[in-house]
Amino acid sequence: MLAKADEYLTERANEQQLHEDTHLEEIPVGDPDAGLKIMMSFLGVKPGRQICKLGDDHLQDIDISSNVCHMEKELEEERAARKATDAARTEIEQRMKSKLNVVGKQFNSTLQFCYHSMQQLCRQWM
């Protein structure tokens, strides 16, 4: 985009017949929308590499686009695998929590039984 801006300013300098030593920043721009036009022309450029000496024709970078497609597919596969792994991990955690609750309840009931049994034995000895 900077190259296009420099090109535009150079054209303006030639049109106005300014001295060659004039800095680009010093060149007066008559069109207030010049920056917008430069940006729009830059954004309108087709992706790819410009073919030398053929103007605005572009060579599409098939290698780059196929690499991007391949990487997007890999990313989707990784996301799906991660999602499945997370779901399995969540299910395992829920099972472990429920088993821990069951074991905790069994332990508490066993502990209470032992406590009551010890109390009964102590009463019998006294």
125 with 72, same domain: the answer is yes
CA 96 to chain centre: 34
Question: What mean pLDDT comes out for the span 91-109?
Answer: 95
Q: Specify the pLDDT at position 84.
A: 94
Reported as a pLDDT band with limits 50, 70 and 90, residue 63 is: low
54 with 33, same domain: the answer is no
Q: Specify the pLDDT at position 8.
A: 64
**Count of the separate structural domains present in the chain:** 2
31 with 61, same domain: the answer is no
40 with 13, same domain: the answer is yes
Highest mean pLDDT pick, 2-16, 38-52, 98-112: 98-112
Vertex 104: Cα angle to 98 and 106 (nearest 5):
105
30 with 66, same domain: the answer is no
Q: Specify the pLDDT at position 79.
A: 92
Between residues 96 and 13, the one the model is more confident about: 96
74 with 124, same domain: the answer is yes
Q: Is the pLDDT of residue 22 over 70?
A: no
12 with 68, same domain: the answer is no
12 with 38, same domain: the answer is yes
At 110, list the tokens: 């066993």
% of the chain beyond a pLDDT of 90: 33
66 with 92, same domain: the answer is yes
Q: Specify the pLDDT at position 86.
A: 94
62 with 8, same domain: the answer is no
pLDDT digits (tens, 9 = 90+) for 23-55: 556 656 666 666 666 666 656 555 445 444 545
31 with 59, same domain: the answer is no
Instruction: Indicate the range of 3-7, 57-61, 70-74 predicted with least confidence.
Output: 57-61
34 with 55, same domain: the answer is no
- Contacting residues for 8 by C-beta, under 8 A, at least 6 apart: 34, 38
Structural domain span for residue 15 = 2-45
